[in-house]
Chains A and B, each alone.
Chain A
Amino acid sequence: MATDNQASTLDARPSDRALAGVMIVIAVGAIVFSRDMSIMASVFPRTIATLLLVFSAALLIKSFVVHPRRARPEPGSVGRRLGLIAVMLVWSFALKWLGFLAASLVSAAVLAVLAHYHAWTPRRVGGYAIALAVIIGAFYTLFAVVLNVPLPVGLLWRQL
């Protein structure tokens, strides 16, 4: 919104084209997969998909005609970011199989390692481990025991 100076923006043409391309695929897919719906139920998805198609096409055309720029995303460690994404995905899938407590304890530990940039002293390690265990334990008790929310128990353990 404020005027960016040249160094902090990137040429958005390739990324806009990629974005438009992906959206066009999604819009077309939405229309294709709406073929087995009744008329009433397919009106809305088809209209929206068509609009999406139009907007994405406009974006595509704009990337050829104008020279759009986008803000430079914050730099940072790619590895850690991917690591966090991987951990979160595994965590969400593991809930059903490992159960809530096991999945959370392990994932939280890995995330703590990912987020830490300074040295690991044994005192720090112990302190963080206790803090995380307390937080996880407290919430688990609150939800599962006090409020009777059925947190996943872990199908893996049941089969043992």
Chain B
Amino acid sequence: MDTLSFMAAALSPVNLMLAIVGVAAGILIGALPGLSATMAVAVLVPVTFGMPPEAALIMLGAIYTGAIYGGSYAAILVNTPGTPSAIATTFDGFPMAKRGDGDLAVTLSTLSSMIGGLVGAVALLTLAPLLAQIALKFGPVEYFWLAIFGLTLISALSEGSTLKGFIGAGLGLLLSTVGVSVIGADIRYAFGSQFLLGGVETISALIGLYCIPVLIDLVATPSAHLEPPEEGRGIRFREGLSLMWRGKFNALRSAIIGTAVAILPGAGGSIASLVSYSEARRTSPRSDQFGKGEPDGVIATETANNATVGGGFIPTFVLGIPGTPPDAVILGALLVQGFRTGPEMFTTNVGVTYTFIGGLFIATLLMLPIGLLIGRYAFKSIVSIPKALLVPSIAFMTIIGTYAIRNNPFDVVVMVVLGVVGWVLSRYGVKPSPIVLGLILGPIAEQGFVQGYLMGNASGSVAGAFFGRPLSLAIIALVLLSVLFPLWRAWRTRSHKETANGH
């Protein structure tokens, strides 16, 4: 069949090599805290300008998918997400590493990323036009309710006090308003500084909030960072496989969530992994183990974030609208090459498209051997690196990685300042995740709200705009579910405690 022969073209020596090199490079870049997937794709785009379109696409796609996977290394081994999409992997990945199961976590991440990537690629191959049309149905109002849904997830994710979780989210939401507003073009909270004009850059805030506190606590004690593993344990592949089998529904569901989130333009791996994590926790029989090193947590987040790679290409190719931030960069690269997206991709340019999808499949499959190889190395070296080298190296990478996002030295200052603030706050019980969620979802919530309001005004009924659309109502139902469920669960635990302690 035509499709298959195009995909087979991805196996040509050149394309294969590009896929291998791309995946390996992507994994290394993603693994380093401070260097994100978007940045990796952006700085490497010029390299692809001499190449034919399918080769460029394969290489960029391989780097992208490798970086999303590689982010889990730093998340698991150092408690700092290598890329924003690996934030949720720190929740259970690092506790697993702390108790000596770091190698297992890395293996699980490898298997999960591969499965997630395959699901996303299958969706791209088979369902792209249909899913793209569904994505278009999401308008400002739906995005607003989705943002609210995301924010209510905080109640599910907060360790300890839900109240402090909301306070953290409020802080993040406020931070997201600094700079020039989209609606109104007002300059908000810049206090005359030309640097604050640019707003708080999300990725630099993420890096600061997650990496700096880790560094601060690393210098504080002489104890080794991680327990070295028992000798001769290998990579625990079989154990990983059996855990994957046990968590197969979790993996599949998380991959679907990841694909679904990625189809919506603007939402990427970080949101996808957070949603699938909280879903996994909600439905798991071991839900109180989440956050303490539950393997299903790692499976959920890593399947979801790699599914966003394939899923994000759906609106990018079909509609010409980028699904995730790295897709925006890739789209720009395609346009410069004279390569039009839209139906042309499945008609006149169908060869390139299917060769690329074939390449994406191959890159995803390659993640398993390459990942296990590099992962084993990474684990051994991180465990044995002395703190005196680890701390300055990670600090250095956060500095250079933050700077390279926008070539703005002020972003580095913001990163450090927010990091210190985040460390202080976390000692007082406000964790970084709600702040980060607020920062990411703030613009989505605000724009959705104001745009929906304007639309409602034009059609005569604001309430109708926000509450009258079937899709919005479905999302509102999800919001209510996610708010009420933990309350119900807390009530149930408290009544259990009361019977147990006889208060």
Contacts and interface: CB of A to CB of B under 8 A. Distances in A.
A81 B423 CA distance: 11
5 closest A-B pairs by beta carbon, nearest first, are: A76-B220, A117-B222, A41-B184, A52-B170, A116-B388
B242 interface: no
Given A49-B174, A91-B416, A132-B393, 10 more contacts: A1-B292, A23-B171, A34-B188, A44-B177, A51-B170, A81-B216, A117-B387, A131-B389, A136-B396, A143-B404
Interface stretch (B6-14, B255-263, B427-435, B460-468): B427-435
Given A77-B220, A80-B220, A139 B396 contact: yes
Given A76-B217, A118-B222, A48 B170 contact: yes
A72 to B, nearest CB: 10
Given A52-B171, A149-B407, A115 B450 contact: no
Interface string A90-102: 0111011000100
Nearest to B165: A55
Contacts of A131: 389
Nearest to A89: B416
A76 B177 CA distance: 36
A18 B429 CA distance: 12
Interface string A16-39: 101100010011001001100111
A81 B220 contact: yes
Interface residues of B, number: 69
Contacts of A88: 212, 215, 395, 416, 419-420
Contacts, number: 210
A150 B189 CA distance: 28
Interface string B160-193: 1101101100110110010001011110110100
Main secondary structure of the interface of B (DSSP, over half): helix
Contact of B163 (A1, A59, A147, A150): A59
A56 B428 CA distance: 13
B101 interface: no
Contacts of A52: 167, 170-171, 174
Contact of B413 (A37, A87, A93): A93
Interface of B: 43-44, 46, 159-161, 163-164, 166-167, 170-171, 173-174, 177, 181, 183-186, 188-189, 191, 212, 215-222, 288, 291-292, 386-393, 395-397, 399-400, 403-404, 407, 409, 412-413, 415-417, 419-420, 425, 427-430, 442, 445-446, 449-450
Contacts of A81: 216-217, 219-220
Contacts of A93: 413
Given A45-B177, A89-B416, A128-B388, A2 B186 contact: no
Nearest to A115: B391
Given A115-B388, A131-B389, A37 B396 contact: no
B413 A92 contact: yes
Most buried by B among A68, A89, A107, A115: A115
Most buried by A among B46, B185, B215: B215
